[in-house]
Amino acid sequence: MEKRELTCIRCPIGCHITVELENGEVKSITGNSCPRGEEYAASEVTHPVRCVTSLVRLKGGSRPVVSVKTKGDVPKEKMMDVVKALKDIELTAPVHIGDIAAENIAGTGVDVIVTSNDD
Amino acid sequence: MTDRKADLIIIGGGPAGLAAAVSARKEGLRDILILERDTRLGGILNQCIHNGFGLHTFKEELTGPEYAARFIRQAEEEKIPYMLDTMVIDISFDPETGLKKVTAMNPGEGIFTIDAKAVILAMGCRERPRGALNIPGYRPAGIYSAGTAQYYVNIEGRMPGKKVVILGSGDIGLIMARRMTYEGAKVLCVAELQPYSGGLKRNIVQCLDDFDIPLLLSHTVVDIKGKERVEGVTIAEVDENRKPIPGTEVFYECDTLMLSCGLIPENELSNKLGVKMNPVTNGAFVNESLETSVPGVFACGNVLHVHDLVDYVSGEAATAGKNAAAYIRGEKNEEGAVINIKTENGVRYSVPSTVRTGNMPDTLTVRFRVGNEYRDTNLAVYLDGKQLMRLPKRVMAPGEMEQIILVKSKVTDIVSEAGTADHELVIRVED
Amino acid sequence: MIDVTIIGAGVIGSAIARELSRYDLDVLVLEKESDVCEGTSKANSGIVHSGYDAKPGTLKARFNVEGNKLIHELSKTLDFPFKENGSLVLALEEEGRKGIEELLERGKANGVPGLRILEKEELLGLEPNVSETAVCALYAPTGGIVCPFNMTIAFAENAADNGVMFRFDTKVNSIGKKTSDNGEAYYVLDTTGGSFETKTVINAAGVYSDVFHNMVSEDKIHINPRKGQYLLMDKAAGELVKSTLFQLPSKLGKGVLVTPTVHGNLMVGPTAEGIEDPEDTSTTSEGLDLLAQKGALSVKALPRLTITSFAGLRAHEDGGDFVIGEVKDSPGFIDAAGIESPGLTAAPAIGAYVAGIVKDILKASEKKEFISVRKGIPSMALATPEEREALIASDPSYAHVICRCELVTEGEIKNAINRTLGARTVDGIKRRTRAGMGRCQTGFCLARTIPLLAQALGVDEEQIRKSGKGAYYIEGKIKDNL
Domain at C212, CATH number = 3.50.50.60
How many beta-carbon pairs under 8 angstroms link B with C? 150
Evaluate if residue A16 carries a pLDDT over 90: no
Residue C279 lies in a domain: yes
CA angle C274, C277, C282 (to 5 degrees): 80
Burial class (CB in 10 A: 0-12, 13-18, 19+), C167: middle
Residue C72 lies in a domain: no
The strand pairing partners of C201, in sequence order, are: C5, C333
Whole-number pLDDT of residue C252: 65
For chain A, say whether B41 makes contact (Cβ under 8 Å).
Answer: no
Please report the pLDDT score of residue C260 as a whole number.
98
Per-residue pLDDT tens digits for C73-93: 999 999 999 999 999 999 999
Contacts of B398 in chain A (CB under 8 A): none
Angle between the N-to-C axes of helices C148-161 and C11-20, in degrees from 0 to 180, rounded to the nearest 10: 30
C111-137 per-position pLDDT tens digit: 999 999 999 999 999 999 999 999 999
C348 falls within a domain: yes
- pLDDT tens digits along C178-232: 998 888 889 999 999 999 999 999 999 999 999 999 999 999 999 999 999 999 9
CB spacing of A69 vs B200 below 8 angstroms: no
Give yes or no for B183 touching C (CB within 8 A): yes
Query: CB of B367 within 8 Å of any CB in chain C?
Result: no
Whether residue C450 is found in the same domain as residue C356: no
pLDDT given at position B128:
92
Mutate to test the interface with A, among C460, C479, C482 (most CBs of A within 10 A): C479
Q: Which of B379, B327, B330, B336 has the alpha carbon at shortest distance from B354? A: B336
**Whether residue C162 is found in the same domain as residue C291:** no
Instruction: Report the gap between the CA of C455 and the closest CA in chain A (Å).
Output: 15
User: Could you tell me if C160 and C179 lie in one domain?
Assistant: yes
- Is C70 contained in some domain? no
Residue B206 to residue A9, Cβ atoms within 8 A: yes
C interface mutation test: which of A54, A87, A88 has the most C CBs within 10 A?
A: A87
Question: What is the predicted pLDDT for the residue at B210?
Answer: 95
C296 and C246 in a common domain: yes
CB A52 within 8 A of CB A69: yes
In this structure, what are the phi and psi dihedrals at residue C144, rounded to the nearest 5 degrees?
-150, 180
Nearest CA of chain A to the CA of C481: how many Å?
Answer: 10
Of B69, B157, B395, the CB nearest to A13: B395
Q: Both C129 and C230 in a single domain? A: yes
Question: CA-CA distance, B412 to B384, in Å (whole number)?
Answer: 12
- Does residue C410 form part of some domain? yes
Q: List Cα–Cα distances, A8 to A11, A24, B275, C75, in angstroms.
A: 7, 20, 42, 64
CATH number at residue C431: 1.10.10
Residues C307 and C413 grouped into a single domain: no
Task: Report residues of chain B scoring pLDDT below 70.
Answer: 1-2, 333, 418-420
Residue A63 has pLDDT above 70, yes or no: yes
Alpha carbons within 13 angstroms on the beta-carbon side of residue B173 total 33
Segment holding C306, helix H or strand E: strand C306-317
Q: Which chain C residues contact residue B109 at CB under 8 A?
A: 399
Would residue C377 count as lying in a domain?
no
Q: Cβ–Cβ of A84/C478 closer than 8 Å?
A: no
The structure's pTM equals 0.94
Interface of B with C in 118-147 (CB under 8 A): 126-127, 129-132, 134, 136-142, 144-145, 147
**Residue C332 and residue C308 in one domain:** no
The residues in B 312-371 lying below 8 A from A, measured between CB atoms, are none
Domain end position, chosen among C314, C340, C372: C314
Please report the pLDDT score of residue B135 as a whole number. Answer: 92
- Among C468, C406, C392, which residue's Cα sits nearest to residue C439? C406
What CATH number should be reported for the domain holding residue C267? 3.30.9.10
Report whether C12 contacts C342 (CB < 8 A): no
pLDDT in the model for residue B422: 84
The tens digit of pLDDT for each residue in C227-261 reads: 999 999 999 999 999 999 999 987 666 789 999 99
Closest CA to B310 of B121, B125, B76: B125
Question: Which chains would you list as touching C if contact means 3+ CB atom pairs under 8 Å?
Answer: A, B
Q: What are the chain B neighbours of C313 within 8 Å (beta carbons)?
A: none
How high is the pLDDT of residue A23? Answer: 87
User: Chain A residues within 8 A (CB-CB) of chain C?
Assistant: 55, 64-65, 80, 83-84, 86-87
**C228 shares a domain with C134:** yes
Q: How far apart are CA B288 and CA C167, in angstroms?
A: 63
Task: Check: CB of residue B170 under 8 Å from CB of residue B263.
Answer: yes
Q: Determine the pLDDT at residue B3.
A: 72
What is the pLDDT averaged over residues A54-65? Answer: 97
Domain hosting residue C460, numbered range: 385-481
- Read off the amino acid at residue C247: Q
Chain C's closest residue to B265, CA to CA, is C440
Residues of A in contact with C479 (CB under 8 A): 55, 83-84, 86-87
Listing DSSP states for chain A in one string gives: -EEEEEE--SSTT--EEEEEEETTEEEEEES-SSHHHHHHHHHHHHS-EE--EEEEEEESSSSSEEEEEESS-EEGGGHHHHHHHHTT-EEES-B-TT-EEESSGGGSS--EEE-S-B-
C454 within 8 A of C461, measured Cβ to Cβ: yes
C294, C327, C362 - which closes a domain: C362
Q: For residues A94-99, give the mean pLDDT.
A: 98
**Number of neighbouring beta carbons within 10 Å of residue C276:** 7
C285 with C413, same domain: the answer is: no
Q: Which residue of C has its CA nearest to B106?
A: C399
Residue C37 belongs to a domain: yes
DSSP letter at C211 equals: H
Contact B38, A62 (CB under 8 A): no
Are C234 and C213 part of one and the same domain? no
pLDDT tens for chain C, residues 1 to 482: 999 999 999 999 999 999 999 999 999 999 999 999 999 999 999 999 999 999 999 999 999 999 999 999 999 999 999 999 999 999 999 999 999 999 999 999 999 999 999 999 999 999 999 999 999 999 999 999 999 999 999 999 999 999 999 999 999 999 999 998 888 889 999 999 999 999 999 999 999 999 999 999 999 999 999 999 999 999 999 999 999 999 998 766 678 999 999 999 999 999 999 998 989 999 999 999 999 999 999 999 999 999 999 999 999 999 999 999 999 999 999 999 999 999 999 999 999 999 999 999 999 999 999 999 999 999 999 999 999 999 999 999 999 999 999 999 999 999 999 999 999 999 999 999 999 999 999 999 999 999 999 999 999 999 999 998 899 999 999 999 99
Decide the pairing of beta strands B374-383 and B386-396: antiparallel
pLDDT-derived band at A9, boundaries 50, 70, 90: confident
Cβ contact, residue pair B210, A83, below 8 Å: no
Domain closes at, from C274, C291, C314: C314
Q: Chain A closest CA to C430's CA: distance in Å?
A: 26
* Sign for the pseudo-dihedral over CA of C36, C38, C39, C45: positive
The alpha carbons of chain B give a radius of gyration, in whole angstroms, of: 23
Contact B149/C at CB under 8 A:
no
User: B204: closest CA among B170, B166, B174?
Assistant: B174
Q: Do β-strands A90-92 and A74-75 pair in parallel, antiparallel, or remain unpaired?
A: unpaired
Query: For residue A51, what are the contacts with CB-CB under 8 A and spacing of at least 6?
Result: A69, A70, A72, A73, A74, B51, B61
Model ipTM value: 0.93
Q: How far apart are CA B119 and CA B294, in angstroms?
A: 10
Q: Is C49 an active-site residue? A: yes
E-strand stretches of C161-272: 165-167, 172-179, 185-191, 194-203, 223-233, 244-247, 257-260, 266-269
Q: What angle do CA B15, B20, B23 make, to 5 degrees?
A: 125
Judgement on whether residues C127 and C165 belong to the same structural domain of the protein: no
- C343-362 and C59-77 helices cross at what angle (nearest 10)? 90
Pick from A51, A57, A69: CB nearest B157? A57
Q: Does C114 touch chain B (CB under 8 A)?
A: no
Q: Which of A64, A65, A87 sits opposite C482 (nearest CB)?
A: A87
Together in a domain, C357 and C298: no
Domain contains C457:
yes
Give the C-alpha distances (Å, rounded to integers) separating B332 from B16, B291, B328, B424: 23, 12, 9, 22
DSSP-assigned letters across all residues of C240-270: S-SSEEEE--BTTBS--EEEE-TTS-EEEE-
How many domains in chain C? 3
Query: Cβ contact (<8 Å) for C480 and B129?
Result: no
- CB-based contacts of B304, cutoff 8 Å, min separation 6: B121, B265, B281, B283, B284, B286, B290, B316, B351
Interface of C with B in 357-386 (CB under 8 A): 385
Contact C309 B162 (CB under 8 A): no
Which of B147, B157, B256 is the closest to C443 by Cβ? B147
Q: Which of residues 156-175 of B touch C (CB under 8 A)?
A: 156-162
